[in-house]
Chains A and B, each alone.
Chain A
Amino acid sequence: MILDIYSFSTLTANIDNSLHNVMAPWLAVATELVLIGLLFLIFYALLGLFLVYLERKVCAVMQNRIGPNRVGKWGILQTIADLIKLVTKELIPIKNADNFLFNLAPFIVIIASFMAMAALPFAKGLQAIDFNIGIFYVIAVSSLGVIGILIAGWSSSSKYSLIGAMRSGAQVVSYELSVGLSLLAIVVYTGSLQLSTIVQSQADGWWIFKGQIPAIIAFIIYLIASTAEINRGPFDLAEAESELTAGFHTEYSGIKFAFFFLAEYINMFIVAGIAATLFLGGWMPLHIGHWEAFNRIMDYIPSIVWFFGKTFFIIYIIMWFKWTFPRLRIDQLLNLEWKYLLPLSLINIVLISFVVLMGWYF
């Protein structure tokens, strides 16, 4: 039923075939890996630049300002100028720092976000690896980033950094539970951990619509918990600037700081992408039950537009949080998780299992 004209699978299959025709199988696979890696690197950098620009514009709108408007038309080249500044800046060596770990930390953070991106289905047939345990993989990999943050705080021999890192550790470890449990809600509905299967299961309606109330609860819990997991406001305690100047990356300068900065924005994209895939149908167009004509029209919008549209909608919500709420205190943050979100998600899982057993969903 879904149109194949926008599918990327023909394109990728063609590339695969032609590579296999001209070279040995192992060489073809190696070339494909390199190609995909390069594509992701470019995509990663461009996406990071765009998200920084977007954040600055969104926050400008919320704050009665214009935002960047000098470099290029509407200031679109502003982030590129910033990047050049960051790359050419001096890397300040820190006295008493553990140099090996200090230099390693930004890479761990950025690699963790890089790995998580591999499993995201960007469009029909456009997914680097379709694991059969996709969700499990994403949760596992995205939580590696906190190790980088902890190492950064520990190795930079600064008190603010250490406090920031400890806060981040406590926060990410606790909120991961809620993130996992709210994702589990959709796994219960679909009975699969594979991201492509989950997207396919939403061909007749997105889970947030056909999953009844438990899906909506899970979606809201996921939004809150994932915002906390990526250390963004109002949960940005790890880098609470009015308390800890810049938290765990206080001592970082130049491109190493840029790595942390980039990873934060890419993590936001990943979190939003997962939410879009699981709750809002991923690249699946908006389909309503048996409205054939309506579904047909929706199919004419390319799947990649659907995915990025939904993802940026959620990114906008996450940005909206940051620019309107004051920051929580660390004990209030942990209370919110352990006393409210975690019990609620556990009850929600039971509720969903009941709904699925009784077949009370569309």
Chain B
Amino acid sequence: MLLNSLTDMSEETINNVIIKEDDDYVVNMGPQHPSTHGVLRLEVFLNGETVKKLVPHIGYIHRGIEKMCEADTYKQVIHLTDRMDYLSAHMNNEAVCLAVENALGIEVPERVKYIRVILDELTRIASHHLWWSAFGMDLGALTAFFYGMRDREKILAIFEESFGSRLLHSFNTPGGLMHDVHPNFQKHTMEFVKYFRKKLPEYKQLLTDNVIFHNRTKGIGKMSRETAIAYGVTGPSGRGSGFECDVRKVAPYGLYDQIKFKEILHDEGDSFARYLVRMEEMEESLNILEQVADNVPEGDFTAKMKPIIKLPEGEYYQRVETARGELGVYIVSDGKKFPYRMRFRSPNFGNLFVLNTLAKGGLIADLVAISGSLDLVIPDIDR
């Protein structure tokens, strides 16, 4: 099956080679454009309103994070990872922390594991809030934006209370957490779970049940499971095509092997399926929070760590599930206090480059609907 898809892929690649013809109507969407969500440039070749092909141009927000990592200690690296996928900042931190902890063979306290899971899921919901808001706006439903932002604010308030910052909190550190959470952390998390369960039907009324919304997303940007695997599309976008790629299930880390939750899968592979996956994932995250938030054990917030961490010589890899898919951290260490090389496998790269395959032959409006449903964060690609 997989081999088959790879041969298909090679044919597809041949078809995707971009040759500019003289009568092509080329529209540059971006780097400054309302629906590219960041500094992405899509060079779109049009025939009337139909998209013939498109080329994504990346690199407008390249900051050399991987290179900078080589000059930082492992504790400092954490702060750089925040800036990749800023909406999944906590998961990015956790990926590096887990890699270092596994390399040193450190067992973190139970309390840390619980709090990390809570933060994972809160961050995931907050990220999906922002995606939902922006997706609605891409399709012209401007009001949806404010409903998503309203609920996201509650999560950011919880973060602010404990960490002092709302988005990039760099709260993880190899071995545990920077400091203990605020005494009200669990209480407010549970309050949010109750609050958001009540608000979810509003999301359904505004977008999910809307006929125009169905027309705009159903059957648009169909991605087969094989295409998803071939392009490495992971996260909710991949699961919308029936690709079982949830790292929390496939390669559990932290507490995820002890928690009961289901992996959301939809087989249709269109924009609407990807939408539904994220909506149901928010509910599933609430379920996880309910299991965990009340049972956080007392204990230390960090394991005993040396002030300067030196990894033994060797190569280490750790993957986690961010809100957008599978994030991999690859560390090569030569035994010194700085990593010799650090490399990230970002989920958005695959998610972006499948766009040409999905949007080809559709209209401009479909292109917007598809790129919105892939939920791209460009700084994560450029790093």
Interface residues of A (CB under 8 A from B): 59, 62-65, 159-160, 163, 167, 233-234, 236-237, 240-245, 322-332
A-B contact list, 13 entries, CB within 8 Å: A62-B143, A63-B147, A163-B49, A233-B142, A240-B140, A242-B138, A242-B140, A243-B364, A244-B364, A322-B142, A326-B141, A326-B212, A328-B216
Chain A minimum-CB-distance residue to B363:
A329
A-contacting 9-mer, from B3-11, B27-35, B124-132, B248-256: B27-35
Known A241-B34, A245-B34; judge A63-B146 contact (CB<8 A): yes
Q: Which of A241, A324, A327 has the most CB of B within 10 A?
A: A327
Complex Cα distance, B159 from A22, in Å, reads 78
Complex Cα distance, B367 from A332, in Å, reads 15
Chain B minimum-CB-distance residue to A159:
B27
Q: Which residues of B contact A233 (CB under 8 A)?
A: 140, 142
Complex Cα distance, B206 from A331, in Å, reads 23
- Inter-subunit contact B49/A245 (CB<8 Å): no
B242 interface residue per 8 A CB criterion: no
Q: Which of A65, A237, A240, A329 has the most CB of B within 10 A?
A: A329
B103 interface residue per 8 A CB criterion: no
User: In the complex, which of the residues B49, B147, B215, B368 contacts A328, with contact meaning CB atoms closer than 8 Å?
Assistant: B215
User: In the complex, which of the residues B146, B206, B207, B364 contacts A163, with contact meaning CB atoms closer than 8 Å?
Assistant: B364
Given contacts A163-B49, A234-B212, A242-B137, 8 further A-B contacts (CB under 8 A): A65-B146, A163-B27, A243-B35, A326-B139, A326-B213, A326-B216, A329-B215, A330-B49
- Inter-subunit contact B139/A327 (CB<8 Å): yes
Q: Which of B27, B49, B365 has the most CB of A within 10 A?
A: B365
Instruction: Identify which of residues 207-264 in chain B touch chain A, using a CB-to-CB cut-off of 8 Å.
Output: 207, 210, 212-213, 215-216
Q: Which residues of A contact B146 (CB under 8 A)?
A: 63-65
Known A241-B34, A242-B34; judge A329-B216 contact (CB<8 A): yes
Q: How close is A301's CB to chain B, nearest CB, in angstroms?
A: 34
Q: Which of A63, A65, A160, A245 has the most CB of B within 10 A?
A: A63
Q: Which residues of B contact A163 (CB under 8 A)?
A: 27, 49, 364
Known A62-B143, A163-B49, A243-B365; judge A332-B34 contact (CB<8 A): no
B379 interface residue per 8 A CB criterion: no
Q: How close is A251's CB to chain B, nearest CB, in angstroms?
A: 14
Interface residues of B (CB under 8 A from A): 25-27, 33-35, 49, 136-143, 145-147, 150, 206-207, 210, 212-213, 215-216, 363-368
Q: Which of A62, A241, A325, A326 has the most CB of B within 10 A?
A: A326
- Judged by DSSP, the binding face of B is helix
- Inter-subunit contact B143/A63 (CB<8 Å): yes
Chain B minimum-CB-distance residue to A160:
B27
User: In the complex, which of the residues A65, A245, A322, A331 contacts B363, with contact meaning CB atoms closer than 8 Å?
Assistant: A331
Q: Which residues of A contact B366 (CB under 8 A)?
A: 329
Complex Cα distance, B364 from A328, in Å, reads 12
Q: Which of B25, B26, B206, B364 has the most CB of A within 10 A?
A: B364
Known A64-B146, A233-B140; judge A328-B27 contact (CB<8 A): no
Q: Which residues of B contact A237 (CB under 8 A)?
A: 365
- Inter-subunit contact B213/A329 (CB<8 Å): no
Q: Which residues of B contact A325 (CB under 8 A)?
A: 140-141, 210, 212
- Inter-subunit contact A326/B363 (CB<8 Å): no
- Inter-subunit contact B34/A326 (CB<8 Å): no
Complex Cα distance, B368 from A162, in Å, reads 18
Q: Which residues of A contact B363 (CB under 8 A)?
A: 329-331
User: In the complex, which of the residues B26, B210, B368 contacts A243, with contact meaning CB atoms closer than 8 Å?
Assistant: B368
Q: Which residues of B contact A244 (CB under 8 A)?
A: 364
Q: Which residues of A contact B368 (CB under 8 A)?
A: 242-243
Q: Which residues of B contact A65 (CB under 8 A)?
A: 146
Complex Cα distance, B140 from A236, in Å, reads 9
Q: How close is B375's CB to chain A, nearest CB, in angstroms?
A: 15
Known A64-B150, A163-B49, A243-B368; judge A326-B33 contact (CB<8 A): no
Q: Which residues of B contact A62 (CB under 8 A)?
A: 143
Chain B minimum-CB-distance residue to A323:
B143
User: In the complex, which of the residues B49, B140, B147 contacts A326, with contact meaning CB atoms closer than 8 Å?
Assistant: B140
User: In the complex, which of the residues A59, A160, A322, A330 contacts B365, with contact meaning CB atoms closer than 8 Å?
Assistant: A330
Q: Which residues of A contact B212 (CB under 8 A)?
A: 234, 325-328, 332
Q: Which residues of B contact A245 (CB under 8 A)?
A: 33-34
Chain A minimum-CB-distance residue to B205:
A324
